[in-house]
Structure 1
């Protein structure tokens, strides 16, 4: 059976735009794979690589005429572009492959074909190295290669199975362009974090990146164990999203002539037994990290996708968003280590904003003090799109409220409000002792209750 891929018609116009210029272009195919259908949402040209190695020279929007040939492309550069774009994708959407416009037949020329395989292999090894960014990826190693010849304008799409050595199987793909925009089912979720994590100071100080990694691992376990409710109800995982929409529309039609809401509200609940660790270890910590805030999640699914696929996408979106913010925040730090004598340190990762791409939204992140105009630059460089500042949705997450921290920082007696390492460890030990005493009291009560019940049972049986 031939693999079929659906994409909006503007993707064809996008390819023809570069093919008509008779220039070589390479870029990423962005899309979503479900059991019901595979949809491509956008094609994003990989920016021209700069020779400048400074930190400011990451990407540029220079004209693509500077490129000479596919053979000169850097695998690292394409992989880096894929990592940056993946941060902008909501859960359930991934980099599906690469597209190329060139005059050469990349499938017939062994040199070009070898280069394409090398670029794909390196890109996906780089992406798969970060499970939090690319987790829940569909169980398939087949990646897309879309090619348009600049001279004939002939479009060819094939899939290559990676990880099979030099004998990679190549299969034809039927690429279909949709004249009408694809309809999507939107799922919105607001997930709140309010957790405290211990900090142990080593001789080299505290690594912010290491602490964030521990928070991310803990959050991943918690979210994966959570149960998802859609519009306040627990749904059957095999049911299609469009069926839920139809049922709600039919239910609301008896009360109002208006259609059902375009988006579905998602709530994640963590089972109580999963909130407690299997074993409790008491250690002397030198401080703590209070991780608090709300992650706004907006996921777009093909309407025929199942509830189980939507659950996986929402959970993956929250984790991907956290991983993206932590990575960006750590990259922006001048020094990754916090000195042990620093009693209070406030870290504010970037907040999420939405940017329109076709009939759905992708996302970007703004650091404190950055204006929406900063998102326009990212969208232009990474997605090769022109949008206006008014198109950026900035109100899904509000900036962090630092008033409490500022007041604490200004207070000369603020050190008295902070527990010393000894006080923190004592509190942890006291908590453990109180819990043990509670367990002991309950055990004694149950023991004596069973004894009394046995005596009463014997008494009544004899009576």
Structure 2
């Protein structure tokens, strides 16, 4: 069966724009795969590559660039780095589905060019697979799209290539690519997931690794979110049911409104099951401090209306975990020193907050550090997505800046050393309290045991007197 892909018509105009200039261009295909349908949402040109000594995995795509004239000159690491940055901007359920190319060479017939395509796809797969919490690779298929438009004939060809370390023989399959004149319809699901957890901290000789602590928080959050149960508009839904069926149920019988006018957004709530049993053995860990991880993650996921409830559940959970992983990575990359020394009593870390940016009929996201203006998001969108938007298009109120009043109070308390007891002082206090309590219990036990004898002696003394 031939794989069918649906894409908005502006993607065709996007390709024709570069093909008409007869220049070589490579970029990423962004979209969503469900059992019912595969949709492409956007084509994002990969920025021109920097000089070779800066094409590392952590490189930025904002430095001075130099033109690459054909596919053989493209760096696999540069395309993979672009895919990694773009994945952070995608909501849950959306993935980098492949690459597009405009060139005068036939990349499917020339073995050198096709070998380069496979190398780019496999390297990108490997880089995105390195961080499992980013959900960089689509879990439903290992096949990636390769879309090519000839700058000579303007003929468009799309095929799939299987990627992964276990792939020995490359299988190429044709793809039926269909451009839609009408905008694609999406069902939006909004969720606000609150975190308020405390994690232990152990200080090593070299200090505390912020990246390591965040990784532990991310692992714990991932387990909690995966075990949670999702309610849509306050109800537990059948996982095999399509989203469009829920929309139809909401529509009143006598209403003249269309289905798309009903319920522009569905509210999602995640509930974590209560563990009512404790393990037989409890491990006690001596720690030097704690991390209070608190805040609300705003999630906005866009699904094809034909997608099932289970697919929507997976997308929402992916979105929350991917957002946390993106913020932690960006925050740690921005730190001057990853290690915090033990003498630092209180430390406040504020990862970047999420903002929404429009792409077609849906929204992708970007992240702003404290003090950054919406104009900063315009640079990322222009560079990574090859889109021109205005500052007013950026939705900045989905998450509010962190409230630092509680931290300020803790900081003031930490500065007063007389209010802080050392672990040794605390243990001595508990030890002394335990001895006093034991002596009191012993005295009471003796009185109760010899109560009759003591009462008889007291009676005789009173009689004599």
Query: Which band: TM-score by shorter chain?
Result: 0.7 to 0.9
Superposed CA RMSD: 2.7
Distance, in Å, in 1 between the alignment partners of 2:429 and 2:237 is 42
- Cα distance in 1, alignment partners of residues 426 and 195 from structure 2: 22
Q: Secondary structure of 1:272's partner?
A: coil
Deviations 1:48-74 (A, max 9, x none): 11116399972149898x221110110
**Change in CA separation of 1:334 and 1:222 when aligned onto 2, cut-off 3 Å:** same
Give structure 1 regions of 4+ aligned residues with deviation exceeding 6 angstroms.
54-57, 61-64, 274-278, 423-429
Q: Residues 440-461 of structure 1, C-alpha deviation per residue, up to 9 Å, x if partnerless? A: xxxxxxxxxxxxxxxxxxxxxx
Pairs within 5 Å for 1:174-323? 174-250=176-252, 253=255, 260-273=262-275, 280-323=282-325
| 2:328 paired with 1:329 | no
Cα deviation, residue 187, structure 1: 0.1
Aligned to 2:395: 393
Q: Say whether 1:84 aligns with 2:85.
A: yes
CA distance in 1, matches of 2:429, 2:219: 25
Q: Deviations over 1:22-50 (max 9, x none)?
A: 11111000000000000000000000111
The correspondence of residues 343-362 of structure 1 with structure 2, limited to 5 A, is 343-362=345-364
Alpha carbons of structure 1 residues 368 and 132: separation in structure 2 relative to 1, 3 Å: same
**What does 1:4-153 correspond to in 2, within 5 Å?**
4-51=4-51, 53=54, 58-60=60-62, 66-134=67-135, 137-153=138-154
Structure showing greater Rg: 2
Distance between the aligned counterparts of 1:421 and 1:397, measured in 2? 38
Q: Is the 8 A contact 1:32 1:40 kept in 2?
A: yes
How far, CA to CA, are the matches of 2:427 and 2:71 in structure 1? 59
Q: Name the CA shift for 1:419/1:154 in 2 (closer, same or farther; >3 Å).
A: farther
| Count of residue pairs the alignment pairs up | 426
| Residue matched to 1:379 | 381
- The answer on whether the counterparts of 1:184 and 1:302 sit within 8 Å (CA) in structure 2 is yes
Residues 321-366 of structure 1: CA deviation (Å, up to 9, x unaligned):
0000000000000000000111100000000000000000000000
**1:260 shift after superposition:** 3.2
**For 2:38 and 2:133, how far apart are their aligned partners in 1?**
22
Answer yes or no: is the 8 Å Cα contact 1:105–1:149 preserved in 2: yes
The aligned counterpart of 1:454 is none
CA distance in 1, matches of 2:338, 2:268: 36
- 1:250 CA displacement: 2.6
Do the aligned residues in 2 keep the contact of 1:284 with 1:421 (CA within 8 Å)? no
Quick check: 1:47–1:61 contact (8 Å CA) kept in 2? no
Q: 1:287 offset after TM fit, Å?
A: 0.0
1:135–1:53 distance in 2 versus 1, CA, 3 Å: closer
Residues 60 and 337 of structure 1: CA distance in aligned 2, closer, same or farther (over 3 Å): closer
Unmatched runs of 5 consecutive residues or more in structure 2: 432-465
Distance 1:15 1:278, change over 3 A: farther
* Structure-2-length-normalised TM-score: 0.86
What secondary structure does 1:273 align onto? coil
1:458 matched residue in structure 2: none
Distance 1:428 1:267 in 2: 43
Alpha-carbon distance between aligned partners in 2 of 1:173 and 1:405, rounded to the nearest angstrom: 55
The CA deviation at 1:281 is 1.5
1:452 — aligned with what? none
C-alpha distance after superposition, 1:404-461 (max 9, x if no partner): 21233245755566675568999999xxxxxxxxxxxxxxxxxxxxxxxxxxxxxxxx
Q: Per the alignment, in what secondary structure is the counterpart of residue 345 of structure 1?
A: coil
CA distance in 2: counterparts of 1:120 and 1:352, whole angstroms: 29
SS class of match (1:167): coil
For 1:409, the equivalent position in structure 2 comes to: 411
Paired residues of 1:61 and 1:380 also in contact (CA < 8 A): no
1:444 aligned residue:
none
CA offsets 1:370-395 (integer angstroms, 9 cap, x no match): 00000000000100000000000000
